[in-house]
Amino acid sequence: MTLAGPRVPFFWGWLARKLAVLLREGEAPRRVVAEAAIRISLFGTTQAGWLADEVVAPGWRRARFSGPLFILGHQRSGTTFLHRLLAEDERFYALKLHEQLLPAVTLQRGLAALGAFDRARLGGRLSARLSEVEERLFSPLDDIHRLRFSEIEEDEFVLWGLFASAMAANDTPRAAASAALDGLRDFDGWPRSRQRQALGYYRAVLTKAAHRRARPGRPAPWIVAKNPAFTHKVAALQATFPGARFVHLHRDPVEAIPSRLSLIRAIWRRRVPGFTEMSRAQVETVLRDSVRTYRAAWRNAQTLGPDALVVVDYRSLREDPAGEVRRTLARLGLGAPDAELTARLDALRPAPPSGHRYALEEFGLTREDLAARLGEAAAPPPDPG
């Protein structure tokens, strides 16, 4: 597959549509202007770094990596836990958040040089200041999902940076309630050329990461990537990454769907002044995406062979994480965990029962609703093995 060229494929039309929706629905103009400014600034920085790479690091396209190993499944199904666990194995590499938002080799080298200068000459004052900013921005959500620029994160942020992600359409209550953004949420409905643009850029981001990590005599790293939104992009991912392998985590939708709705509601309550409860339209937007994810899992189970897909039950992962990790790696032909991951697995214990209880009824849903919408996909997808 041809890697992305020197132009970053930002989806300007969808950004313009979202900004128009926010203004029409009564969003404060200053917040709309702030989002536009952040987006334009991030794109400009990314594009400048991308162009600089053609001069400073022209050999990046020759870099190689293995996989990726994609961790899929509905949100709140253990995908983050498994992703961060596997990343402890030295054979695997997972992208940090700053690598997804500023992926150019030039920009990453610049950040590394600035960090070294800060440690050597400034006593770490810049790093301390950044930590203060991160705490102010992200720490209120730590009990829901920890987010930091220097820590690994789900790869959907790569597409978010292009405005090619449903996450960009669902990040505020007003945008989530708008049917005008449904096209951004429906990857299957995109023209093939747009799908190839987005995933070609994603492959280029991974290739640049592999280029930065390349060392003589060292094998190409295995990329381990976690992204629930990739569950319904598997056919396109296989076309983009012929060597890809997949782990699908299944959790009972009666538990996972209200858990996800509760997560989104909690985020909006903390970020959006005056927000209290989700409207029916907002619930429906999330539910449609959840149904799409569960149905895609069944479709994947019919098309992927046992050497490409392992289905892992959420409860089994909680009760026997070490055993599930070892079985999964063995099934995919990836061997035993390395020494560091082995030590981590040996120290793990079964997760205690969660104190959280999520009810469909809180969101105007019932088990019968889900059964009717999901059909056979309400049950775990068959494991090809």
Structure confidence by residue, pLDDT tens digits, 144-182? 789 999 999 999 999 999 999 999 999 999 999 999 999
Where does the pLDDT of residue 218 fall: very low under 50, low under 70, confident under 90, or very high at 90 and above? Answer: confident
pLDDT at 111 over 70: yes
Burial class (CB in 10 A: 0-12, 13-18, 19+), 91: middle
In this prediction, residues 103-127 reach a mean pLDDT of 97
Please provide residue 201's backbone torsions phi and psi, each rounded to the nearest 5 degrees: -65, -40
pLDDT surpasses 80 at 5: no
pLDDT tens figures, 278-296: 999 999 999 999 999 999 9
Contact 254, 360 (CB under 8 A): yes
Give yes or no for residue 316 having a pLDDT over 90: yes
Residue 244 lies in a domain: yes
User: Helix 253-271 vs helix 367-374: angle between axes, to the nearest 10 degrees?
Assistant: 110
Residue 271 has what pLDDT?
87
Residue appearing with tokens 């040089």: 113
* DSSP three-state, residue 312: strand
Report whether pLDDT(339) > 80.
Answer: yes
| pLDDT per position as a tens digit, 31-66 | 999 999 999 999 999 999 999 999 999 999 999 999
Instruction: In whole angstroms, give the CA distance from residue 317 to residue 337.
Output: 16
* Residue 19 in domain: yes
Nearest partner of 312 among 324, 300, 297, judged by Cα: 324
Number of domains, the chain? 1
| 187 pLDDT higher than 70 | yes
> Is 384 part of any domain?
no
**Residue 3: what pLDDT?**
65
With a cut of 70, say whether residue 4 has pLDDT above it.
no
Q: In what order do the strands lie in the sheet with 245-250?
A: 92-93, 222-226, 66-73, 245-250, 309-313
What rounded mean pLDDT belongs to the chain? 94
Q: What pLDDT is attached to residue 143?
A: 80
For residue 1, pLDDT over 60 is answered with: no
Domain housing 305: 12-378
**pLDDT at res. 31:** 94
Q: Is the pLDDT of residue 253 over 90?
A: yes
pLDDT of residue 358: 75
Residue 337 to residue 29: CA distance in whole angstroms: 52
Least confident residue range of 20-24, 95-99, 116-120, 266-270: 266-270
Asked whether residue 4 is domain-assigned, the answer is no
Rounded mean pLDDT, 206-232 = 94
Least confident of 55-59, 93-97, 245-249, 347-351: 347-351
Mention every residue, 6+ apart, whose C-beta is less than 8 A from residue 221.
65, 66, 91, 92, 93, 210, 213
In a domain, 246, yes or no: yes
pLDDT of residue 355 exceeding 60: no
Residue of 245, 199, 198, 218 whose CA lies nearest to 63: 218
Q: What percent of the chain has pLDDT over 90?
A: 89
Structure-block tokens of residue 62: 């020759």
CB 32 within 8 A of CB 17: no
Query: Pairing mode, if any, of strands 66-73 and 245-250?
Result: parallel
State whether the Cα torsion 13-18-21-27 is positive or negative: negative
CA distance 225 to 67: 9
Residue 194 half-sphere exposure, CB side, CA atoms within 13 Å? 18
- Examine residue 383 and state whether it is found in any structural domain, yes or no: no
* pLDDT band, residue 73 (cuts 50/70/90): very high
CA angle 294, 299, 300 (to 5 degrees): 95
- Would residue 112 count as lying in a domain? yes
- CATH classification of the domain holding 210: 3.40.50.300
Q: Return the H-helix or E-strand segment holding 11.
A: none
Neighbours of 379 (CB within 10 A): 13
Say if pTM beats, i.e. exceeds, 0.85.
Answer: yes
The answer, yes or no, to whether residue 204 has pLDDT greater than 90, is yes
Contact 294, 74 (CB under 8 A): yes
Residue 309 lies in a domain: yes
